């Protein structure tokens, strides 16, 4: 095994996915699994399929293509609104996509007609998070413009994101408005639009409490299934495992050094001016993982008595003076990642992703 590594426990993710699928199913909702958290790994797509999810979502066409090349077990959906420059690739790669621009939808329609294929689009609605999506007051005019598509694109419903850019949380009111937006478009266009799709893990709390309005019928999810956490609400989801992922790195140096730098301290390479407390001589482990590989503020040592001090692009410095283990050069240390750390590790070509 090469280190640093992101170790993924398949059975724990499968268990989480099955619980979420059962919960959503009891509320009349389908689940689409987002794979971008592990950089579109086909193994994750297979786990989602085994758990009973209905589709695969990713924000990168490269990831969806990789899943397709490995034999996509479920329909694929692009969840980042498409650039004009990638529409031909989109048409060739994903069965569905989220869209929020009329001209983009028209161009995708033309491309699909020319290729003799049909692709489904969900119309993105801005539910208040101020990211992508039509503002609700724009919908009547937008719907009128969607009436004359040539048949290459099927408008299958609407979708929204919550707590992504601005932190706006899902509520019964803003979800109900999403259903009304679907109905407005459907009435003007005459299209049958069954899907009302919401993302992401922050929507689970409403599903648990039975507060999701009638008509909302699809959940897109990643964080909760993989990590068992809900960043938007700052909670550990009590019925999901949260130890499916572990970051491991090797200690390249381990010795005692002063706890305060010697000399004048300026800004380090990442524009920060660190502050240190004088704790005397401390045993410091220098690990072969750094900011180029992981978000150091979003990992926690599994050894609760170890403490992350700082990091450069290539090295992580951990105070192991009071650690439970007598660490030495060549030993491995393990960490629990949060969502930003998982993304960074899975994306870095220097971190090996290992499914166990």
Number of continuous H segments (helices) and E segments (strands) in the chain? 10, 18
| Crossing angle for the helix pair 172-189 and 139-146, to the nearest 10 degrees | 40
| One-character DSSP codes across 250-306 | EEEEEEEEESS-SS-----TTS---------EEEEEEES--TTT--GGGEEESSTT-
**Helix, strand, coil percent values for the chain (each to nearest 5):** 35, 25, 40
Give the contacts of 14 (CB within 8 A, at least 6 positions apart): 47, 50, 51
Cα-Cα end-to-end distance for the chain: 12
Distance CA 227, CA 352 (A): 18
| Catalytic member of 36, 154, 283, 328 | 36
Helix, strand or coil, per DSSP, at residue 125: strand
Q: Which two tokens stand for residue 82?
A: 């498409």
Give the pair of three-digit tokens for residue 43.
Answer: 């193994």
Residue 93 token pair? 């790669």
Q: Report CA-CA distances (Å) from 337 to 212, 243, 304, 318, 341.
A: 30, 9, 14, 16, 5
Active site residue 324: no
What three-state secondary structure class fits 36? helix
- DSSP assigned state of 213: P
DSSP assigned state of 158: E
- What are the residue numbers of the active site? 36
């Amino acid at each position: 095994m090469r280190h640093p590594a992101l170790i993924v426990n398949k059975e724990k993710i499968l268990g989480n996915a099955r619980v979420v699928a059962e919960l959503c199913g009891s509320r009349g909702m389908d689940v689409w699994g987002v794979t971008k958290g592990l950089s579109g790994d086909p193994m994750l797509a297979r786990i989602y399929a085994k758990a009973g999810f209905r589709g695969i979502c990713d924000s990168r066409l490269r990831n969806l293509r990789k899943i397709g090349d490995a034999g996509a077990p479920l329909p694929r959906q692009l969840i980042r609104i498409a650039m004009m420059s990638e529409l031909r690739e989109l048409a060739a790669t994903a069965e569905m996509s989220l869209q929020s621009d009329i001209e983009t939808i028209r161009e995708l329609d033309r491309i699909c007609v020319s290729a003799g294929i049909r692709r489904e689009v969900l119309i993105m609605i801005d539910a208040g998070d101020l990211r992508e999506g039509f503002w609700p007051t724009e919908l009547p005019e937008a719907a009128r413009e969607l009436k004359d598509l040539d048949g290459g694109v099927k408008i299958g419903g609407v979708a929204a994101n919550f707590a992504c850019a601005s932190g706006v949380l899902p509520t019964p009111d803003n979800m109900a408005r999403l259903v009304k937006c679907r109905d407005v478009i459907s009435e003007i266009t005459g299209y049958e639009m069954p899907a009302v799709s919401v993302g992401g893990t922050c929507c689970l709390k409403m599903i648990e409490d039975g507060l999701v309005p009638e008509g909302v019928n699809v959940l897109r999810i990643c964080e909760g299934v993989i990590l068992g956490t809900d960043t938007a609400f700052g909670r550990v989801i009590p019925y999901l495992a949260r130890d499916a992922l572990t970051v491991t790195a090797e200690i390249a140096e381990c010795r005692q050094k002063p706890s305060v730098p010697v000399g004048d301290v300026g800004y380090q390479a990442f524009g920060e001016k660190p502050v240190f407390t004088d704790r005397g001589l401390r045993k410091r482990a220098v690990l072969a993982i750094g900011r180029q590989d992981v978000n150091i503020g979003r990992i926690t040592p599994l050894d609760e008595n170890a403490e992350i001090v700082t990091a450069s692009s290539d090295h992580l410095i951990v105070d192991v003076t009071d650690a439970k283990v007598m660490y030495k050069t060549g030993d491995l240390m393990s960490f629990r990642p949060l969502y930003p750390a998982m993304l960074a590790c899975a994306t870095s070509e220097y971190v090996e992703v290992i499914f166990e």
